[in-house]
Structure 1
């Protein structure tokens, strides 16, 4: 019954809001701005006629542009068309390689003139764009919101489906709530509210954490004691005070025998770093004296103990044997992982299971309960279940109001609170005060006001009119941009007082938020999507060709790039250091992979790259090099496309259908080099136009193999020719030359990064109307040498971020 009421309540709210969202009609053309100076316009028209119209005309429409049909003297009549042209010109992508080009001075003059006219038009006719008025929280935002509202870390990957991405990010236009998805949200809200309140469970529950099969466990794991190796540290929230069972299972081979157990080993189980028990695991011997470890040797690796409710860290790890160093030294580094990832030379943890509570004793005091129960009702002496004079309802309203205000990201009134109080009252009758509060929390977490980021047009605003967001709406945008979460108390309070829109106050809040640990979301969420770090999880290099690649290396790749990006944010460095940094962050595993000496242990630390200049910045990171390769070989196309899209901001169009594969690597008994294969591929007219842009940049990175190792010879065995070029630029040699060519035009890279940040901040794709905003942010940031905070403050103060266009006029049929 309660579940049906929750569904009905959510559905009614959805329908009511949907009815309030105006219908759309075709946009009107913006009015003209003042014409450009006639003489300058004539020179610009001559350049366009000479170098552009030959391809971009009404007959050919190359790239979807017909510049003969628009007037360079009246740029403000077709700003979207000219913004497309400006994007290509700024990246040097037009005219294409091999075509005549104007001299550098004329080229720069045309670009400056076009940008000036477009910026002038935008100042007269501001158009901040229109974000989706009804955008669902994505999985990351939902998880972070639960963390910040309830002091509860939950893995929502087990509760909610993954989100689709658009424009490179999964927070863009996340819409819709199907019945199946609503069921998932109802189930998630039930589990989360019960765990947060600490309500008794009907039966013990279990959780099993399985480690990746190709994770080597030779070194110490973060969060586990010194003098140990391998294993896992599991963050787990225990629902109630009570007895729990922790069980460890060891890795097995195909015959279900425990791997690597050729001598006794000791396994330690810990709770919050304190030892619970140490087990000695001893292999069996057969009649000939040989060791073997059947499935029974780890049957007793479990411990039962009493644990207080709330978050704890469960650890399972091996005490390091004296012989471990000798055994590892006898093996080539990581070679004990052959093409089948077997056998191990030492035992490893396969999984840790946590089950309970048995004999629960109550919820205890947890951070979640402290966050929720801001008051307690006065009870009748001698009758703990009875409140004095209805004080339980007053207290419940206070709890519900405080929680709903934070969850809905705005002030709440009686219309918001009354339905939630009714849920409280119904559950209170049968389950008591805390059961009522739990039900009210559950109803809040299934409300569209929580699940959706709702941006309503103000009453009385004319259709298609730019208006300034309220301070409360601005606070929500800012929090989801910088934290991927809800506003905290300080930000929401400043917004409710109407102070957030004042530039000094906004700057203080932005700087405070960037210094907060929650700003790590810019690294783990924004950068992980922009730089394709999320794709590392699905990368599977061929084990026969790359036997050294394993889960440890995969994790190290991602961590290196996260730490570099995080250092730019935390230390407010120039974002150009993402390309030029002469330092990186390595542990021993990654340092050995890169050939960097004197780095020992599993801890990451800052390491100078003065002697390995090829590794400077993102272009030398194994993460980028691996996700832009195939399982068996490098891909100049993928790497070149990554450069065009993420560094230059000029992504190539999708490939045409039925693209032929690369030429066979062997021709006339000779193995072709990658460059030779790409030359043959470009001979196909279908492929030439795009590949002449992508391939030269990608080929300059050929000294890195498919998992980011440095090499001087390619798959064909011949010396690598790593010469390359960028669109419209001079030729260079190798990745160092590529890096210098990119750094020679820092405004191009900074502009691309600004567009990516703006897309992430707004939750919509960036288009032509945003060009003037991006250019203004980049120009202002140049004064501080492109420090990260300058980009963030520029976005936060921009019209695109602080304003919104109202809906188009509703069409009423009579």
Structure 2
């Protein structure tokens, strides 16, 4: 053993110019780390020899992890630590110096590779290339293959493959968009359609043909079941592409007749109506018992379906949540509040033939005509279109000119290609496409031929790929910036500013980013980045059991939880808060439904998200949000390991060592009337497992007071053996096991509960870890690949620290860094 150590030391000395320094650092590591990490079966499956004398492509991750653990005091573990503060700092300096040297030597090999645009970027980009409001109401992109997510990110280059099948689908989709943007043939006639109340129809929820159902009045049609949609029988789809004026007359009725407990709809929430024009949706709050005229003036594609819906997360409170059981409340309400009317209804039920009535008077089917739940009432509509005051339409003239001729193809297509390719078009670069247009014009006509030319521009690699090697540095920077914050091509303002060199300084970058946020130009980033970073797409993968947690299922709490995250993140940007505040703030944004989960009294009884400051230290920031707590739980229970891994990967930037392939992992079973910690102790008693779990578990136990829905609990509710055998859920809460939410980190830091854990996350080391992780996630989202340059990330972190870690300043430091600029 000693001979092998000496041999390794000799090799290490000869490979490094600073032989004496390296020898001292090696002796330091051997003294404090060798006991666990130089033996035949090293702790955590990490051997010091794997570092080598200097970092390499194979070992750099070990070097970075090593400096991270040493900085945090987790290595050596507290119980075995004999290292002085001076020795620790000397070792940190040594490791960082070696890593910086490696980063400097390999900078060129770490350049960001090209990546394909994802589907939403393609749709946004085509919209702006063609200068239209969106790709169209006829869902032209619906057949594209879905993008594969990588740890939540849809911008990850290695996951965005491209094939011949992709190209075939792109061509089909692009033609559908262009066909409703560039119109040929005679001007379509303008129709005036009056939709009377008896022209209103509701979609059926089943394949079988059924009676229309309740809600039909002489002059209106009511929404009842929120799953159905309403449509115009005499104008179900748009006959010709063009501009349409649509006026819909509607009101909200019976908002306060039944209690919230019956309907799940708050009295202070308005009744809303959504208008669906294909996949373009507009939602309106209706006044109570007063007819409102909803007016729309929209460009619609031929074939677009026009439908109305009732957007609500209520009306699913009764029985198993099926809307039909709502009708039972009509029986209960009339019986209690209008005995005379109740008696009349009961008498009418008795006169029905046996096969026409339910055996029980209170059965829901007997009361459908008397239900008074909150609902929209639609009276009718007027539709006018297609309206084309100019022919061809003005938007087409803006794109191609008034009378486009194939002979002018170069002049017409060059600005289109420049927008699509995000750069200047080089001389001769369009020649092939110009010849295509001119050859097709002989057979198809000039305008149709230009459609083919635009499709060719859009299916070229210069459009479909973000390529860091293409174009000038200023053009590449504008492209990266625009797709980072807006997920589309750069607008003229940004292209001009980068071309003139106006965004070469950190201050200029920060000011422009702040302006874009304030102007609403970066709303796509505010939606998409936190959703990707926090993997909110997973929130319903194993959602809480609907029988045990009916509120989550019936009130669509997953949407409220995601909205809480997005509102919180938007607030952080609007107020430029320090990045660490995202993790451990003492506030968040809640509505009445979330307040039920979080046990917050005094919240206004409506669905609006409002800022709430917590006083008990248990919640606030991302650590206390239902989104995080739910997506890391299972249907009936929680797993501290799941939560720990999520916290490590998404908040701390730590990649935990995966379990060995031959280890059988079993989930804890609280029916054993033990704490989860006690159950997991049997698993972690194995030396191979225990080494890694000493690092992992403390990041998860703190959250054990939060159940699968994020609700607070002091006890696990355990099933008795009798309940398990007989599968009787009525006996599910006969045993209570106290929650143990305490743990000790390898550094020696301890906590007894979530309050103390949150305090530990405010320490300098944890703060920097979180900000570093945030920076890494920003770069992953922007570049399509995880950053491999430790030194570059540390430089951004230092810039963030110099600006009090403020979030806009940190984002600006990322954009201004060489890791983003790629110059």
Moved more, 318-327 or 550-559: 318-327
Per the alignment, in what secondary structure is the counterpart of residue 443 of structure 1? helix
Give the aligned partner of residue 524 of structure 1. 527
Separation (CA, whole Å) in 1 of partners of 2:186 and 2:46: 64
Give the aligned partner of residue 576 of structure 2. 572
Q: Indicate which of 791, 799, 802 corresponds to 2:821.
A: 802
Preserved CA contact (<8 Å) 1:372 1:399:
no
Gaps of 5+ in 2: 1-13, 267-313, 328-370, 377-381, 719-735
What is the root-mean-square deviation in Å for CA atoms of aligned residues? 4.4
Preserved CA contact (<8 Å) 2:245 2:384:
no
Separation (CA, whole Å) in 2 of partners of 1:165 and 1:774: 24
- Measure how far apart 1:704 and its partner are: 1.1
Separation (CA, whole Å) in 1 of partners of 2:374 and 2:704: 38
Per the alignment, in what secondary structure is the counterpart of residue 556 of structure 2? helix
Give the aligned partner of residue 452 of structure 2. 439
Residue 484 in structure 1 maps to residue 437 in structure 2: no
Preserved CA contact (<8 Å) 1:723 1:734:
yes
User: Residue 36 and residue 153 in structure 1: after superposition, are their counterparts in 2 closer, same or farther (change >3 A)?
Assistant: farther
- Measure how far apart 1:732 and its partner are: 0.9
Matches within 5 A, 1:620-699: 620-657=624-661, 658-667=663-672, 671-699=673-701
Moved more, 518-527 or 318-327: 318-327
Q: 1:338-395 deviations in whole A, cap 9, x for unaligned?
A: 44545452699999xxxxx999747667999638725634xxxxxxxxx5xxx63476
Residue 763 in structure 1 maps to residue 747 in structure 2: no
Residue 782 in structure 1 maps to residue 762 in structure 2: no
Residue 86 in structure 1 maps to residue 67 in structure 2: yes
Q: TM-score, normalised by structure 2?
A: 0.72
User: Residue 63 and residue 510 in structure 1: after superposition, are their counterparts in 2 closer, same or farther (change >3 A)?
Assistant: farther
User: Residue 686 and residue 118 in structure 1: after superposition, are their counterparts in 2 closer, same or farther (change >3 A)?
Assistant: closer
Residue 413 in structure 1 maps to residue 413 in structure 2: no
Per the alignment, in what secondary structure is the counterpart of residue 455 of structure 1? coil
Separation (CA, whole Å) in 2 of partners of 1:510 and 1:368: 35
Residue 169 in structure 1 maps to residue 188 in structure 2: no
Separation (CA, whole Å) in 2 of partners of 1:733 and 1:645: 23
Matches within 5 A, 1:685-764: 685-716=687-718, 717-745=736-764, 746-764=767-785
User: Residue 538 and residue 99 in structure 1: after superposition, are their counterparts in 2 closer, same or farther (change >3 A)?
Assistant: same
Residue 148 in structure 1 maps to residue 147 in structure 2: no
Give the aligned partner of residue 792 of structure 1. 811
User: Residue 243 and residue 45 in structure 1: after superposition, are their counterparts in 2 closer, same or farther (change >3 A)?
Assistant: farther
Q: Indicate which of 76, 87, 91 corresponds to 1:95.
A: 76
Give the aligned partner of residue 193 of structure 1. 178
Separation (CA, whole Å) in 2 of partners of 1:747 and 1:240: 63
Per the alignment, in what secondary structure is the counterpart of residue 694 of structure 2? helix
Separation (CA, whole Å) in 2 of partners of 1:592 and 1:771: 44
Preserved CA contact (<8 Å) 1:777 1:795:
yes
Give the aligned partner of residue 181 of structure 1. 166
Please identify the structure whose Cα radius of gyration is greater.
2
Per the alignment, in what secondary structure is the counterpart of residue 618 of structure 2? helix
Give the aligned partner of residue 249 of structure 1. 202
Give the aligned partner of residue 549 of structure 2. 546
Give the aligned partner of residue 298 of structure 2. none
User: Residue 160 and residue 300 in structure 1: after superposition, are their counterparts in 2 closer, same or farther (change >3 A)?
Assistant: closer
User: Residue 298 and residue 522 in structure 1: after superposition, are their counterparts in 2 closer, same or farther (change >3 A)?
Assistant: closer
Gaps of 5+ in 1: 1-31, 204-238, 268-276, 283-292, 352-356, 378-386, 459-468, 805-814
Per the alignment, in what secondary structure is the counterpart of residue 53 of structure 1? helix
Give the aligned partner of residue 56 of structure 1. 37
Per the alignment, in what secondary structure is the counterpart of residue 485 of structure 1? coil
Give the aligned partner of residue 811 of structure 1. none
- Measure how far apart 1:773 and its partner are: 1.0
Moved more, 192-201 or 313-322: 313-322
Separation (CA, whole Å) in 2 of partners of 1:642 and 1:525: 19
User: Residue 428 and residue 785 in structure 1: after superposition, are their counterparts in 2 closer, same or farther (change >3 A)?
Assistant: same
Give the aligned partner of residue 279 of structure 1. 221
Preserved CA contact (<8 Å) 1:279 1:301:
no
Per the alignment, in what secondary structure is the counterpart of residue 525 of structure 2? helix
Separation (CA, whole Å) in 1 of partners of 2:140 and 2:642: 32
Moved more, 540-549 or 143-152: 143-152
Moved more, 364-373 or 429-438: 364-373
Q: 1:653-690 deviations in whole A, cap 9, x for unaligned?
A: 233335231354344xxx22222222223224453333
Give the aligned partner of residue 48 of structure 2. 67
Which structure is richer in relative contact order (CA contacts within 8 A, separation 6 or more)?
1
Per the alignment, in what secondary structure is the counterpart of residue 196 of structure 1? coil
Preserved CA contact (<8 Å) 1:573 1:787:
yes
- Measure how far apart 1:411 and its partner are: 0.3
User: Residue 492 and residue 311 in structure 1: after superposition, are their counterparts in 2 closer, same or farther (change >3 A)?
Assistant: farther
Residue 160 in structure 1 maps to residue 164 in structure 2: no
Q: Whose helix fraction is larger, Structure 1's or Structure 2's?
A: 2
Separation (CA, whole Å) in 1 of partners of 2:246 and 2:386: 20
- Measure how far apart 1:629 and its partner are: 0.6
Preserved CA contact (<8 Å) 2:565 2:625:
yes
Preserved CA contact (<8 Å) 1:580 1:616:
yes
Matches within 5 A, 1:289-304: 302=233, 304=235
- Measure how far apart 1:719 and its partner are: 2.4
- Measure how far apart 1:640 and its partner are: 0.6
Per the alignment, in what secondary structure is the counterpart of residue 715 of structure 1? strand
Residue 773 in structure 1 maps to residue 704 in structure 2: no
User: Residue 98 and residue 298 in structure 1: after superposition, are their counterparts in 2 closer, same or farther (change >3 A)?
Assistant: closer
Separation (CA, whole Å) in 1 of partners of 2:809 and 2:167: 40
Separation (CA, whole Å) in 2 of partners of 1:686 and 1:373: 68
Preserved CA contact (<8 Å) 1:536 1:623:
yes
Per the alignment, in what secondary structure is the counterpart of residue 478 of structure 2? helix
Give the aligned partner of residue 209 of structure 1. none
Give the aligned partner of residue 7 of structure 1. none
Give the aligned partner of residue 614 of structure 1. 618
Per the alignment, in what secondary structure is the counterpart of residue 144 of structure 1? helix
Separation (CA, whole Å) in 1 of partners of 2:265 and 2:811: 47
Preserved CA contact (<8 Å) 2:590 2:612:
no
Q: 1:96-134 deviations in whole A, cap 9, x for unaligned?
A: 575446355543443244325534664x54615444644
Per the alignment, in what secondary structure is the counterpart of residue 449 of structure 2? helix
Separation (CA, whole Å) in 2 of partners of 1:704 and 1:404: 54
Q: Indicate which of 555, 578, 593 corresponds to 2:559.
A: 555
Per the alignment, in what secondary structure is the counterpart of residue 202 of structure 2? strand
Give the aligned partner of residue 227 of structure 1. none
Separation (CA, whole Å) in 2 of partners of 1:99 and 1:737: 24
Preserved CA contact (<8 Å) 1:36 1:117:
no
Preserved CA contact (<8 Å) 1:376 1:395:
no
Give the aligned partner of residue 17 of structure 1. none
